[in-house]
Amino acid sequence: MKNIVLVGFMGTGKSVVGKRLAKELKMRFISTDDIIEDMEKRPIAEIFAKSGEPYFRKVEKEVISQAADSENVVIAAGGGAVLDEENIAILKKKGIVVCLNAAPEAVYERTKKHKHRPLLNVDDPVSKIKELMDKRAPYYAKADYQINTSGMSVPEVVKEIIKITNA
């Protein structure tokens, strides 16, 4: 059984879906963001603010490389992880990569209560979400499968992933 890797924009449900999927398939759940925060002993917002995004991406790359080499895991990758082509290539070696998609407005609704995503802590988050989504579309398109989560519940998304990956 290959690993299952969830990619996609912030707020598309990678963590919540990934946890349930892992439980259902009796696999281990790994969130690259959580590992980065554990390793760095500080929240992502602080890493961005004090050390900058390039530093965050460097740590993220190391974490992706370790996670990608694990067995029997569901991996939720941070939303920007696929911007590095080596990251997606390495994740595909042992994993099936599934991209979760949602409309910008849905992402805004899901993320507005939280302040831990530094890229969305701006004056006009909806415009920022649209701009980043457009820029990143070609990278997300490299996933093996795409799921449009609009109107789907978490259990429905989990079921769909199990179906398309034959897990």
**Cα separation of 120 and 10, whole Å?**
9
Q: How many residues does the chain have?
A: 167
- Least distance in angstroms from the C-beta of 156 to ligand S3P: 20
Q: Is 10 in the site for ligand S3P (CB under 6 A)?
A: yes
Q: Which of 21, 73, 75, 80 binds ligand S3P (CB under 6 A)?
A: 80
One residue of 6, 22, 35, 44 binding ligand S3P per CB under 6 A: 44
| Binding piece for ligand S3P, criterion CB under 6 A, among 61-69, 74-82, 86-94, 157-165 | 74-82
Q: How far is the CB of 155 from ligand S3P (least distance, A)?
A: 20
Widest CA span in the chain: 44
Spell out the residues 6+ positions from residue 73 whose beta carbon is closer than 8 angstroms to its own. 3, 4, 22, 27, 28, 29, 30, 67
- Piece of 19-27, 87-95, 114-122, 141-149 that binds ligand S3P (CB under 6 A): 114-122
| Binding flags for ligand S3P, 18-37, as an x/- string (CB under 6 A) | ---------------x----
- Part in contact with ligand S3P (CB under 6 A); list of ranges 22-30, 91-99, 112-120, 159-167: 112-120
What does R_g of the chain's alpha carbons equal in angstroms?
15
Token pair in block for residue 96 = 């099936």
Among 19, 61, 117, 128, binds ligand S3P (CB under 6 A): 117
Q: Tell me which residues touch ligand S3P (CB under 6 A).
A: 10, 14, 33, 44, 78-80, 117-119
